Structure 1
Amino acid sequence: MRYTYKSYILAILLIGSFIIEGCQTTRKADYHYENFDYMLAIEEYQEAFNGKEPKLKGAQRLADSYRLTGQTVKAEEWYARVVAMPEADPINIFYYAEALQSNGKYFEAKTQFQNYAMKAPAQAAQANARAQAIDFAMKLMEEPPSAIVVNETVINSANADFSPTIYEDGILFTSDRGGSPANQDDKIKDPGQYGWTGRPYLQMFYAQRNEDSTWQVPTIVDATLNNIYHDGPAVMDSANNTIYFTRTNMVLVKQKNVNVDPTSWVKKPMTNEYINRLEIFSARRDGSNWTDVKPFEYNKVSEYNVGHPAISPDGQVLYFVSDKPGGQGQTDIYYSERQPDGSWGQPMNAGPTINTAGKEMFPAFDNDGFLYFSSDTHLGFGGLDVFRTRGSRTTWSKPENMRMPLNSPKDDFGMTFMLNEQGEQVGYFSSNRESNNGTDDIYSFKLLSNAVLLVTTLERVQTPGKRSVTQPLSDVRLGLAVQNSTDSIFAFTNANGEYNYGVMKGRTYELSGDKLGYLRQTATVKIDTTSLADTTRVTLIFDKSAINTTIAIEKIYYDLDKWNIRPDAAAELDKLVRMLKDNPSIKIELASHTDSREGHGYNQLLSERRAQAAVEYLVKQGIPRNRLTWRGYGETRLVNGCSDGVECTEDQHQMNRRTEFTIK
């Protein structure tokens, strides 16, 4: 519903002008089209074109009607016919590309964006940017899933249901399924259907969730929060005492030649003296009732729209969306700070990190203080995508696309969050991904990741004259599972020996890596909950499993004339313990070496004691003794030139005081 309710909610998304030539179709169809009654126009155009070949004007108007009501499959079909007509304006190629992208046809969409860039040089930068965004989307599709998503079919209707917010024992959401509040004044006239969609006006509904996770039948909210025209979406403050919600308002304007807002309830004849604008209202809870309904101090319906309220976790900042002059683009996210007297301060733009030349809307906060919002301009899959950022006011981290399946080629928006019994981030959001008529559904989700685990796989290579070097090892089969769980997510590292896993902060994971011809490697990884960084890095170093391969153990050093295991050596031997447990079929020989100081006999005895000490340490850690042998080499295998009579530093001598293992 990119051009229906999301158009309505911000009330500024009416496409300003249509370049249409030719003359065809009935006056009745044109009348509905020119008065923004697109569903009625579609019916009339279909009837007029039945069995006939449409001309450009009628075909484009029907394609536009499908586009503006979110019927992307039909829009694609009719824009394909329009762009084949020699007289068609190039803008139709752009709309055709958008429809293809919304329908997941990325390669075809990219071709059409590039075609539009050639046909409309003045718009080439925009078109080429959209083509590049498609490359990004296809790459993003290779990333692991971000969540488990379920369509809440029990509470969804055949009409539009969207923008849920946590409310009492369930959710409050916006819908055009129809109905009148029980306490509504009977004298208020029913406004009828909304001509743009051919469905009732938007109202707020409540769905209560039972203890067994089933839903009760949604009921319409009382008339305090629902007017007879468009109402919603809404958000509760953290104390659940105040609700902030969006409401439309009709304004009589003196200016001429202004676009009539698509949500106007003024009936025909429509004139450009009326415009519909959005406002934010608040209401205070009084027991089970809502009272003291009042407008936001900075509503200004005579000039611009204000809507989509969201409250910061501390309740001190109100975020919202507006098309007020001076912003970054079509619609921007703004904020207003609570003043000592409880009022709201002058609104400020949230800045260019979030806001773009396009549309940013539907802000919301999760339990960790992340801001989520939807955008049609930040790189994504198409339509509105959900993004996440951390910060406040004008300072934000780079927005992160929430990936599939939270996002799709169509519109995804309106998130709300809560914690389940296991402390996991769960919630609800809206999407029209499964709709052919532009309507939205409400989906539940459970996040699979709020952080990234970057795994790097390296091969350790022994080189003449050096201890060892490492190089990227590609195509390693990785397995990741939550600790004490048997469900693993498998993947392969890329050419750089890397792979990004989506993970949850605070959880501990078991990571494994396998590749034919190499020793298996594993690691236990705990994802930090306090770090500002969203990425945890882990490196797995692989050694070849060929017989008689000698591998130097890093940092197995000894103090001069000593053979006891130092703490730094114990940490490295623990890695060897893990490797031996991960590869239970191999046997190894541990070899210890000394530097050249002292006599040969002394060094030989010292190296044997050091090798034996390492073996005893491994046995104490649970490695069977029959898998281990040991040998001391004294000073016979120096790794550098520090032999008898050569002056060397302590660090150079220490390189020779080492332990290695050989696969036997």
Structure 2
Amino acid sequence: MNQLYKSVLLSFLAGSMALSGCQTTRKADRLFQNYDYALAIEEYQEAFAKKDPDLQGAQRLAEAYRLTGRTQEAEQWYAKVVAMPEAEPINLYHYAEALRSNGKYFEAKTQYQNYAMKVPAEAAMANAKAQACDAALKLMEEPPSAIVVNETAINSGNADFSPTVYDSGILFTSDRGSGSGKVAETGTYGWTGRPYLQMLYAQRNQDSTWQMPTPASAALNSAYHDGPAVLDSAGTTLYFTRTKMVEKAQRNPNVDPTSWVKRPLSNDYINRLEIYSARRNGATWAEVEPFTHNKVEEYSVGHPAISPDGKTLYFVSDMPGGYGATDIYYAERQEDGSWGKPVNAGNTINTAGKEMFPAFDQAGTLYFSSDMHPGFGGLDVFKAKGSRSAWTKPENLRAPVNSPKDDFGMVFMRGASNAQVGYLSSNRDSPNGTDDIYSFKLLSNAVLFVTTLERVPVKGKRSITQPLADVRLKLTPQSTTDSTVAFSDRNGEYKFGVMKGTTYDLVGDKFGYLTQSMLVAIDTVKLADTTRVTLIFDKSQKNQSIALENIYYDLDKWNIRPDAARELDKLVRMLKDNPSIKIELGSHTDSREGHGYNQVLSERRAQSAVEYLVSQGIARNRLTWKGYGETVLVNGCADGVECTEDQHQLNRRTEFKIK
């Protein structure tokens, strides 16, 4: 009896353990099916720490990471999924997207091609994405398009994005939970595990620091998602996105107000986006009204943008009849102040993918984000000129405006020079998929072409130069700390994207060579878009003579002429760039005239050069001088030897040695 009891008990325990093992993902599956992805990820992680995942579990965890913007983890888990024989081909596509978002273009191209072979109906789209990987590699070779800085003072660990210029600061969208008091009552958004989106205001001080963000007007924030927004050029009307939860009336509706993923929120309700406007009333906002063409029963409209003249409202929608997942539409203001029927902005702008976050600069150029036009991956920012449904071919804004991750929400400062300064949003630096706000300064299409050369002495002749590769080049606009760093290629060349009318400080350094620098002013008058400069490098070896070019003196004189001063100024800059070195400045003559005369003349010339360097701020204890007269000739032009004037000139030189 005792033995039978034990057998039954052991069988029961074994069955319970097996059942428990089968049910370890039950809670995670329930959360996943209810689109509480942030919580589902935690449960799947805990379950898979105890047992190997099956196909469904691995695929769901990969999808949860993808839909919450965690591309690194999505890549890892899709790699596991596609390795399983029963995995559906769509996982190859999602794997490729994750690889591309992580900057792994070669691997992504392979997976897009694999998907094209598995799903012929999608081959055109997949092959276009594969070609986009090649385009991204070419874009990476282009000069930087802007200076981009993370505004860490206003960013939080949560999502902060899509600012619009507002008063002396910005109005932006965030899920940090510091919006209206209603957030505390409604809890968090299950999709992200963070509070609902609300609009905040951050004031920027005159010294460019930020004050603590505060909630926007209560009229702009509801109990659910609010934002992003755009202010018209007059500063009187604000257009903004608001999410509404409605009863489900169709399959595959939009859900997430930021990613437009086609998923139901629950069995009964879905999210749809609407546009609202508000009129300024002193320091507050009033007259909050819905956009005439909101239609939450059937589709979403959101991400409003207003043309500079205020006559055309552009927005994003997934309404039927578009070219892709989401398209950009426009509506024109009628004489009675109402908005006309929405019109698609056309297939020059819109693609089979997602076009989102339209915006305008002061000149009326359209900026928008797309995941289908050729770019780095995720959403890239593009620009196009035109209006309504007639546009030029969209142009990718290149790096660092764009990255392999999502880049969007571009807005320009009012009154800024050439409309080149503003803000954008990106999740490029986020380990958990959240967005940050960045400031940018666009660089115009001018190019600074830098050549780096090494000076090589040749006995008895003038020195020659040859390309010097791998020189570290640091380019900094004057009066800023926003530097761009690059390295010259094997030909000793590099092209920087620069802004016309700006002066830059260019510094080049390489181990074993003296650092060189120069100020470069990018001309605004010349029609040429390329400015060429050359940095010539000397090895930093002690006691090696380095000739200074074009240091001339009048006959029998030792005062510093203006043309010699310009050459000595280069030596001043080199000494300031290399503050640890000390030099001996030596002056040489040719063999004509007597030895004694030449010796005295060379000493006076060397001393006068040193005095000039001291007058320009070089410490005297770093300098010594010596006159060599005609004792160190570089060729055979000694007394009595017939030589040309050019040969004699080689001996009349000023040199320095590192001591």
Normalised-by-shorter TM-score class: 0.5 to 0.7
Shift of 1:201: 0.5
Question: Which residue of the partner structure matches residue 284 of structure 1?
Answer: 279
Q: Choose 203-212 or 25-34, whichever is displaced more.
A: 25-34
Corresponding residue for 1:428?
423
- Counterpart of 2:238 (choices 243, 253, 258) is 243
1:319-338 aligned at under 5 Å gives the runs 319-338=314-333
Q: Mean Cα displacement is larger for which, 270-279 or 170-179? A: 270-279
Partner of 2:171: 172
- State the Cα deviation string for residues 97-131 of structure 1 (Å, max 9, x = none): 21111112222222222222233333222222211
CA distance in 2, matches of 1:399, 1:260: 26
CA distance in 2, matches of 1:489, 1:424: 25
> Which residue does 2:151 correspond to in 1?
152
Q: SS at the partner of 2:303?
A: strand
Q: 2:450 matched to 1:446?
A: no
Corresponding position of 2:46 = 47
Give the AA of the match of 2:444: N
Give yes or no for contact 1:71–1:436 (8 Å, CA) kept in 2. yes
Partner of 1:302: 297
Distance 2:478 2:186 in 1: 58
In 1, Cα distance between equivalents of 2:109 and 2:159 = 30
Match of 2:191 among 196, 214, 219: 196
Does 2:62 match 1:63? yes
Q: Structure 2 vs 1, CA of residues 326 and 387 (structure 1 numbering), >3 Å: closer, same or farther? A: same
**TM-fit CA distance, 1:503:** 3.8
- Deviation, 1:506, is 5.8
Indicate yes or no: 2:415 matched with 1:416: no
Letter matched to residue 134 of structure 2: D
The answer for unaligned runs of 5 or more in structure 1 is: 1-22, 458-472, 512-522, 530-534, 543-582, 587-621, 623-662
Q: How far apart are the structure 2 equivalents of 1:160 and 1:488?
A: 27
What RMSD over aligned residues (CA atoms) do the two structures have, in Å?
Answer: 4.0
Q: CA deviation at 1:241?
A: 0.6
Aligned ranges 1:190-269 → 2 under 5 Å: 190-255=185-250, 257-259=251-253, 261-262=255-256
Q: Is the 8 A contact 1:249 1:278 kept in 2?
A: yes
Shift in CA distance, 480/399, structure 1 to aligned 2, threshold 3 Å: farther
Change (3 A) 1:24 1:260: farther
What is the match of residue 33 of structure 1? 32
Instruction: Assess if the C-alpha contact under 8 Å between 2:446 and 2:530 holds in 1.
Output: no
Deviations 1:250-269 (A, max 9, x none): 222444x44473469xxxx9
Q: Does 1:376 align with 2:371?
A: yes
Matched, 1:353 2:348: yes
1:395 maps to amino acid: A
Aligned to 1:652: none
Distance 1:436 1:323 in 2: 29
Q: Following the alignment from structure 1 to structure 2, what is the Cα–Cα distance between the partners of residues 395 and 352?
A: 9
| Post-superposition CA distance 1:267-289 (Å, at most 9, x none) | xx975443221111000011111
Shift of the 418–28 alpha-carbon distance from structure 1 to 2, 3 Å rule, reads same
Question: 1:41-120 residue pairs with structure 2 within 5 A?
Answer: 41-120=40-119
Q: How many residues get paired?
A: 493
Following superposition, the deviation at residue 417 of structure 1 comes to: 0.9
Shift of 1:316: 1.4
Q: 1:125 to 1:258 in 2, by over 3 A?
A: closer
Contact 2:144 2:496 in 1 (8 A): no
SS at match of 2:185: coil
Confirm or deny: 8 A CA contact 1:236 1:243 kept in the other structure. Answer: yes
1:538/1:72 Cα in 2 relative to 1: closer, same or farther (>3 Å)? closer
Q: Secondary structure at the match of 1:196?
A: coil
User: Is residue 2:121 matched to residue 1:126?
Assistant: no
Alpha carbons of 1:399 and 1:505: their partners in 2 closer, same or farther (altered >3 Å)? farther
Q: Quote the Cα distance in structure 2 between the aligned partners of 1:298 and 1:114.
A: 41
Secondary structure of 1:310's counterpart equals strand
What is aligned with 2:562? none
2:390 to 389, 395, 398: 395
Once the two structures are superposed, residues 357-408 of structure 1 have per-residue CA deviations (whole angstroms, 9 ceiling, x without a partner) of: 1001001112332211110001110000111111111221211111111111
Q: Which amino acid aligns with 1:434?
A: D
* 2:371 pairs with 1:341: no
Letter in 2 for 1:261: V
Q: Report the 3-state secondary structure (helix = DSSP H, G, I; strand = E; otherwise coil) of the residue aligned with 2:304.
A: strand
Mapping for residues 602-613 of structure 1, pairs under 5 Å: none
Deviates more, 1:245-254 or 1:318-327: 245-254
Distance in 1 separating the partners of 2:477 and 2:192: 50
Query: What amino acid is aligned across from residue 90 of structure 1 in structure 2?
Result: P
Percent identity over the alignment?
65
1:517-569: CA deviation from partner (whole Å, max 9, x where unpaired): xxxxxx9974479xxxxx955699x9xxxxxxxxxxxxxxxxxxxxxxxxxxx
- C-alpha change, 1:335 and 1:270, in structure 2 (3 Å) is closer
What secondary structure is seen at the aligned counterpart in 1 of 2:137?
Answer: helix
Report the TM-score, using the length of structure 2 for normalisation. 0.66
Tell me, in whole angstroms, the C-alpha distance in 2 between the residues paired with 1:418 and 1:105: 34
Q: TM-score, normalised by structure 1?
A: 0.66
Are the counterparts in 1 of residues 423 and 437 from structure 2 also a CA contact under 8 Å? yes
Q: Which amino acid aligns with 2:425?
A: S
SS in 2 for 1:433: coil
What is residue 557 of structure 2 aligned with on the other side? none
1:229 is paired with a residue of what secondary structure?
Answer: coil
For residues 307 and 329 of structure 1, what CA distance do their matches in structure 2 show? 16
Task: Give CA-to-partner distance per residue, 1:114-154, whole Å, 9 cap, x none.
Answer: 22223333322222221111111011111111111111111
Deviation at 1:489, TM superposition (A): 9.2
Paired with 2:528 and 2:328, the residues of 1 have a C-alpha distance of: 31
For 1:171, the aligned partner's letter is: I
Residue 95 to residue 291, structure 1, CA distance change in 2 (3 Å): same
Corresponding position of 1:660: none
SS of residue in 2 equivalent to 1:190: helix
Whole-angstrom distance in 2 between the partners of 1:127 and 1:244: 36
